[in-house]
Amino acid sequence: MTGRKDDIKVISFDVEGTIVTTDFSAAIWFEMIPQRYAERYGLEFDEATRRIRKEYDSVGDQRLEWYDVQYWFTRFDLGRADIAMEALQDRVIYYPETREVLHTLAKDYHLSVASGSPRPFLRHLLRDVEHHFRNVFSSTTDFQQVKTADFYQRMCRRLSVKPRQIVHIGDNRQFDFTEPASVGIRAFYLDREGKSGDAASLRHLGQLADLLNG
């Protein structure tokens, strides 16, 4: 960490893989959608999964549609995604340290969300922790893009703070480290599995709290 911690105004968090596990999303993409697809087209679950993964891959995570559940429900003729998502609310699981870290950091910093997940997802993913955040930015819903340098610059303008006054943390090296760091945000790559071999990466959110409060 360079600079004094009192220069920092905002702590920005990615959501999936950072404050909440990917269980909820996995349940939607790889359980509910294949299940409904199988029922709709009279297929076995495994065959439905195989076809759906192929469809997902044909779009890929650099395109906005990939993130839009209703897009897929419409494409596969499965009805309304919002009702289906509500039924999976109990699959939203926070990491063990999440609540305590947010509670602690919220005393000294303005906490914000910078997620690539669309707002219909964030409504579920943030339900129990939303009160800690003063701002929630969805790159896909609010700015029609994945988390690019341009997204982070716009976020800074909306927050009325300089990039170097923002700390961002997230588990995607490109979207949460390379892109925000390129505009001057103090970015931290969260590598919960420790597989990257990156000495500067953090393993859990408690390490960020220690860095900021230490």
Where does this chain bind Mg ion (CB under 5 A)? Answer: 14, 16-17, 171
Measured torsion, CA atoms of residues 18, 105, 134, 189, in degrees rounded to the nearest 10: -30
Q: How far is the CB of 182 from Mg ion (least distance, A)?
A: 18
Task: Return the structure tokens found at 52.
Answer: 């759906």
Pick the closer one to Mg ion by CB: 48 or 113.
113
Q: How far is the CB of 21 from Mg ion (least distance, A)?
A: 10
Q: Output the six-digit token pair for 28.
A: 């939607």
Question: Closest CB to Mg ion belongs to which residue?
Answer: 17
10 Å Cβ neighbour count for 18? Answer: 22
- Nearest approach in angstroms of CB 20 to Mg ion is 9
Q: Which is nearer to Mg ion, 17 or 184 (CB)?
A: 17
Nearest to residue 180, comparing CAs of 159, 212, 155?
A: 155
What's the rounded Cα separation, in Å, for the pair 192 and 204?
A: 6
Give the Cα separation of 118 and 149 in Å (integer).
18
Considering the complex, state which of residue 16 and residue 191 has its C-beta at the smaller distance from Mg ion: 16
Instruction: State in angstroms the smallest separation of the CB of 125 from Mg ion.
Output: 11
100 contacts: CB under 8 Å, gap ≥ 6: 206
Rounded to whole angstroms, what are the CA distances from 20 to 17, 95, 105, 153, 173?
6, 6, 17, 25, 17
Q: Which is nearer to Mg ion, 16 or 179 (CB)?
A: 16
Tell the burial category of 171 from Cβ atoms under 10 Å away from its Cβ (0-12, 13-18, 19+): buried
CB of residue 77 vs Mg ion: minimum separation in angstroms? 29
Kindly tell me which of 132 and 191 has the beta carbon lying closer to Mg ion: 191
Q: Could you tell me the smallest distance in angstroms from the CB atom of residue 205 to Mg ion? A: 13
Shorter beta-carbon distance to Mg ion: residue 14 or 179: 14
